[in-house]
Structure 1
Amino acid sequence: MKTCRTIADCRAAVAEFRRAGESVGLVPTMGFLHEGHMALVAAAKSAADRVVVTIFVNPTQFGEAADLDAYPRDEARDLAMLKAAGVDLVLIPSVEEVYPEGDETIVETTRMANMLHGLVRPGHFRGVTTVVARLFNFVQPDIACFGEKDYQQLQVIKRMTRDLAFPIEIRGVPTVREPDGLAMSSRNVRLSAEDRKAGLVLSSALDAAEQAARQGTTIEALHSLISDTIHAEPRATLRGLDIVGAEDLSDLSGPLTTPAAIMLSAEFGGILLIDQRVVTP
């Protein structure tokens, strides 16, 4: 496994893959890897000859400097996990490499970035699309894999890729969960034992919503069911709850007749957790 810290070195390594006629899969991460990331790596390995993973804690997608500073990091552990998983190339660029001095260019999906969870975290998705566009340019992969847990992020990246005509296939990978149902996240290690237990209310609320959807319900009833479930947990502070069209994040109302994406965010002891589920009638 080769580790690169500059764009030039990364491009040179990828060029070797290309000269051998090999396809390239990309898995962008912010490090502090867990089994959810490894599922993305496995998906990329199944779809491409070579797998490139990027590790970059992107400052432009954090609203609070304290949140950025508190983001967990463990490069040695990450590299060991990636090597064991059979990754071919890891790019670990500096902030200055990704955002050179005098940088002033951004990439933004004007509608999808400023709705739903984007209202809870202003500027977040602009930071995501800007850095992902740059990573796509650095690596120029054939396929890129992203988790479905960040459902709005996945749809935003798909739209950006389409709009900018990147010749890249975007693949969504199902959410990986802990044995008790909590969605895996690098933020989970920052939870207290009490908040970790309370966080299970997210998956419980989504389980209840999925069952209600199968039995026949309305968007309004689903909203009430999920909201009531979250509010019943005293350690949870509901930050965002959206039920939208699964493909285009469009507004839904009335009887549930098409697949709907439920996107949920809540704080536990100041730590924001997110979860999602696509439900069908």
Structure 2
Amino acid sequence: MDEEFLALLIYVDDVIVTGTSITAITSVKKALHDKFTIKDLGPLKYFPGLEVARSDSGIIVSQRKFILDLIQDTGLSNAKAVTSPLPIALHLSPDTGDLLPNPNQYRRLVGRLLYVNLTRPDISYAVQHLSQFMSAPRMPHWIAALHVVKYLKSCPSKGLFFPVSNDIQLSAFCDTDWASSTFSRKSLTGYCVFFWGAFIYWKTKKQATVSKSSAEAEYRAMAATVCELLWITYVLRDLQVSVMLPIPLYCDNKAALHIASNPVFHERTKHLEIDCHNEINYKRAL
């Protein structure tokens, strides 16, 4: 008999119970009820802000109701929807425009957009861009945040699809927007991870240092992605999910690929070894 496995996801007083044995799940729910008097809502359909729908082909996770409530709370129910998360060629800065008289309104909106980003990777870049100005938001930042809400209005039902698949290969894609920050000249790292044929992890993050070339920026993005892949493999291992090795990592910069395939670091790339590889080795040792 295979060893049974059980996992509990807890958010404040809401709990998701899953596992390999219905008997074990029933026993855990009974034990929790005896201790705390819980209410069993049956198969997962709704979890704070997340809506779960099932079919023979897979599972869909969306935030339609949360997004519709967000649109109504911002007073954009009758606004015209837009087709992109941010206006084309938009460049926001921390010192352009009038300061908002009520900055908490901006912070609350960006915080809700961060939660929407749980199922909407298409707004990842926009939310990252807006999050830079939380300390002193200005009018252009507020207008850009409302633009994101107008974009969500055009497609509130979009979400993540987790198909029924036998493909257990973990893979990742990474890219960089070199020196995209006009006020700091730091590059943006973007990456996404697929598993079981599903989109499971993504992030857009500003790099900690200024890269002197696109190749350096791309290589730092690769290193950051590898660190995240290591963390994901540890989580999957705790969940008793096997991962096929090696894990494919895709990058579109030939210079960065040549640096990655060359084990010898010379004077122009020695700082990459110290900065990137030491971080990877540290996470591998955890």
**TM-score of the aligned structures, taking structure 1 as reference length:** 0.26
Which of the pair is proportionally richer in helix?
1
When Rg is computed on C-alpha atoms for both structures, the one with the higher figure is: 2
Give the number of the structure with larger relative contact order, counting CA–CA contacts within 8 Å between residues 6 or more apart: 1
